[in-house]
Chains A and B, each alone.
Chain A
Amino acid sequence: MDATEIEFLAEKFPITIVPNFAQEKLYLISGDVGPFNPGIPLEVPMWLGMNLRQRGKCRLVIPPWMDAEKLAEKKEEESQSKVFTEMPCEHYLVVAQLLLSAAPEDIPNSQQVKTLVKDMWDLRISKLRSSVAEFIKIEGTHAKLDRLTLLEINSIRPFLPHAFDHLHRLSKAAYTSKLSQTQEL
């Protein structure tokens, strides 16, 4: 899968907006949205919220986890822990990226938030890389990766699954040739 497809999937998730216009309910195929009243916050899918923001028809409410302090705490936690910690949002990188590009003024301390999110991403990816190296060395057959987000998993695709396919094929071939040798004897 591409990163763009994962962004596409992330865009379905809800975000709170505060519209500056009035509109009755919109009956979208994926669900009802609205009614829109100026100044009253409501939830819409991210792709809709982004579009409305770009047209200047609303203000975005930043999700609570995107606060500079909370992110700094999370980053601390992540760097202290040897395993992966639970991320505040499954698509934290995508959401941060979209919000920072569409509405940087709506976010307090946007530079800090940007650096913190990027740092967290880098931390987790480096942990992922070292654990992948470990895993291949011990020739594991199955791995549990509970708290990895979709984008992180996608970053090691297709390398990791293909590597395992090859290892599996090689060991299987070695086994069957060993079998056929013993059968000949």
Chain B
Amino acid sequence: KLLGMPQTPRQILRASPEETPRDANPANVGLELFGYVGIEAVLDQMRIKTMKTGFEFNLMVVGQSGLGKSTMVNTLFKSKVSQKPTGPDYEERIPKTVQLQSVTHVIEEKGVKMKLTVTDTPGFGDQINNENCWDPIIKYINEQYEKYLREEILISRKRKIPDTRVHSCVYFVPPTGHWLRPLDLEFMRRLSKIVNVVPVIAKADTLTLEERAEFKKRIQKDLKAHGISVYPQEDFDDNSDDRILNNKIRDKIPFAVVGADKEHQVNGKRVLGRKTKWGIIEVENPAHCEFPLLRDLLIRSHLQDLKDITHNVHYESYRVQRLNESNLLVLSPINGLLGKDEVESNL
């Protein structure tokens, strides 16, 4: 009974409560209410509270220069989020090493405030020798986890810990039409362990529909063969409804996207698109490209899920690793101070 918000397929599927609660305790008694109590009002209370505090979302885009990353981000958020590197001195702009640039904006839609941080990675994959070009990126992601961890273990900690952790890393695959390149595989293999990786086929307007389908199949096979699990990961499906929904998404990964931030007139409507001599590619037309699917995944339906998986899975495994490698904070108030060895034996 949601307040008239547009229902996405995921919401419709979720309308029926799941059969077995997550932590079913047979000792708990299930009781029937004789009449209306007002418990469901807690949903509205929650909604009001979250609207007041606002949301944070941190997106990272990775890919070689010229694949349309900045345009894509601008198209996603329908505003000039990223500055596109254009101009006569563009050649000099390619950095010698991978640098990370973050830009933060506050955007608002229908009363919902969101603090959006987009991290760009110019220089990735642009050198002759690209060995270890993923290291600065991994370092950055881990630094954000570290920041959060330090805030979390303070004695007097903030009510709302600022969240700079990367919630999603969109990886741009060049539209070669053949296979994933060694750089792509190496990068995705390493990063899918610590962050949600969403691979996309960039500049997909150079592929025909058949070529696109073939390319996708090969990429999916490649990913499977190398044991790379991209978002949405199979292991983290909450329930059967989720799995059905996510399987549909997994069939279509990686999305073939085209970015555009100019509007054109098509059939009397103004649409975002790329104008070419042979036609206008409508970015938001599902028949032309899969940009709507990417937008739906990242923003409209799975944004909260991306954040939850980052917090509950990736951050937690970073934390486990950190606490195990240093005696950072290992104590159990009842047993007093324990060394990490003693605690490990208790676990």
Say whether A associates with B: no
